[in-house]
Amino acid sequence: MFKFAIRIFVVAAIGYVAGSQLVERGLLYLLDEVSADLSYQAVRGQMHVLRKELDAIAPAARADRLRDDIQPLYGLGLGLVDDDKVTPSEAERQQLATLGFIMRDDYNVYLAPLAGSPRQWLEVRLPRAPGIERWVTVGVWTALSLIVGIILLLLWALPLWRDLDRLRNATLRMGQGELGVRVRLSRLAGMRHVGESFNQMAERISALIENQRSLTNAVSHELRTPLARLSFEVALLGQDAQLPRRHHILRDMQADINELETLVAELLVYARLERPTDETVKLETVDTSDWLGEALAQVAHQAEARAVRCHVRPEYPPRVRLHPRYMSRALLNLVQNAVRYASRHVEVELRRCQSGGFELIVDDDGGGIPPADRARVFEPFIRLDESRDRGTGGAGLGLAIVWRVAASHGGSIDIHDSPLGGARFVLRWPA
């Protein structure tokens, strides 16, 4: 902390001195004409009187007269300069023609030509500031630098150090496993936006880790059932010497293996959508008729087996913008879900929203979903206890994948009561 304060003070002091010097020199440059006019007005009367008095004296006698009779009456430095030592520049010649004398040395020295030969110049010097005044100036600048440094230290450096220390402690605690730690900074703190970003990061990390824990527990539970059935079926094969039920057991084993493969495939899709990439959200324009027809063709066998009729409303837009791979998976999951729980009829509708996006609606005439359970069905491995239970099949990830696809498209998925009597799923996404 001490080193940090010293650095802040040194930087502030150097910056203050450099800034003040820059301002001072800038003002001198900008106000040069004003300073010249003020200096001219201040000395022109004295220059006129001195020139008038010295012009009447012979050049050889001017030095004694100036030293003995005139200098004691003035607080200015008076002297005579030979003509060959003046050598005025072009700007000084113009100044001499305009004002009648030359101003040099930041308006501290004035030169005026005198009459007679050899030509002489009257030199007038303003009194210099005493040495103590320079030390006073240096002391004032030093005091001001100290004051500014202390103010910056108290009002900026210390609060900044406090906020940085809080961020550091929160980072260390989070690295040690305290995922619930958050940074609380004042609204007036300069590091507030950094604290908010840290809290957003912490929320995201906490949600991801919690989701991974839940997913791991759920996967373990889901894999246990088909593996237990496979173990039981293998044991049956080993105990039955005559193998009269061999064909039936092998068929059940193949079904369990297919269930495991489906679960693994859905887990891979869900994991891929958990953190969207550029590929996930890249939209393309596709033909609506082909896109809808392909999804319904994949579910046609399942619908025929359950005697369910799938119907697509014809008033859909000719082309639609989406990610072909993942939105097709979402549509397939919604239609399969509807066929699985429908009684006789499933209806699919695609239309444009007034906001310019698209809206996909899937209706069924099944038992519906109670309002209290509509948010839960989008969680992984969640199955309802009544009409949509484990006995209907599925790995429990279909609607969770639909929710991820909607999020990756910047859209949403909602559940309502269907006009057909069952559930209505509405998937919206911007174009």
**In whole angstroms, what is the distance from residue 401 CA to residue 396 CA?**
10
Residue 194 token pair: 């950094």
**In whole angstroms, what is the distance from residue 43 CA to residue 66 CA?**
18
What ranges do the domains of the chain cover? 31-128, 194-274, 278-429
**pLDDT computed for residue 395 by the predictor:** 55
| Span of 90-99, 152-161, 188-197, 290-299 with lowest mean pLDDT | 152-161
Where does the pLDDT of residue 356 fall: very low under 50, low under 70, confident under 90, or very high at 90 and above?
confident
**pLDDT computed for residue 4 by the predictor:** 60
**pLDDT computed for residue 413 by the predictor:** 93
Q: Are 245 and 373 in contact (CB under 8 A)?
A: no
Q: What is the largest CA-CA distance in the chain?
A: 151
* pLDDT per position as a tens digit, 319-336: 999 888 888 888 988 998
Looking from the CA of 197 toward its CB, the CA atoms found within 13 Å total: 5
Q: Are 339 and 310 in contact (CB under 8 A)?
A: yes
**pLDDT computed for residue 131 by the predictor:** 59
What b/e readout covers 400-425, taking b as 16+ CB neighbours within 10 angstroms? bbbbbbbbbbebebebeebebebbbb
pTM metric for this prediction:
0.49
Q: Are 318 and 352 in contact (CB under 8 A)?
A: no
**In whole angstroms, what is the distance from residue 351 CA to residue 271 CA?**
30
Where does the pLDDT of residue 15 fall: very low under 50, low under 70, confident under 90, or very high at 90 and above?
confident
3-state secondary structure of 111: strand
**In whole angstroms, what is the distance from residue 408 CA to residue 403 CA?**
9
Average pLDDT over residues 399-403: 86
Cα 332 to Cα 136, 367, 398, 399: the distances in Å are 86, 20, 9, 10
**pLDDT computed for residue 385 by the predictor:** 46
Written as one string, the DSSP assignment of 203-238 is: HHHHHHHHHHHHHHHHHHHHHHHHHHHHHHHHHHHH
Cα 337 to Cα 26, 148, 289, 312, 322: the distances in Å are 77, 70, 21, 16, 21
Token pair 């005579």 in the structure block, residue: 80
* pLDDT per position as a tens digit, 54-75: 888 888 888 888 888 888 888 8
Where does the pLDDT of residue 181 fall: very low under 50, low under 70, confident under 90, or very high at 90 and above?
confident
Average pLDDT over residues 300-313: 89
Nearest C-alpha neighbor of 273 from the set 222, 220, 326: 326
Average pLDDT over residues 92-104: 89
Looking from the CA of 221 toward its CB, the CA atoms found within 13 Å total: 12
Considering the segment(s) 278-429 as one domain, its CATH architecture is 2-Layer Sandwich (3.30)
Token pair 């929203």 in the structure block, residue: 353
Helices within 283-394 (DSSP H only) = 288-305, 324-341
Domain 194-274: give its CATH code. 1.10.287
Residue 189 token pair: 């703190």
Where does the pLDDT of residue 378 fall: very low under 50, low under 70, confident under 90, or very high at 90 and above?
confident
End-to-end C-alpha distance for the chain, whole angstroms: 53
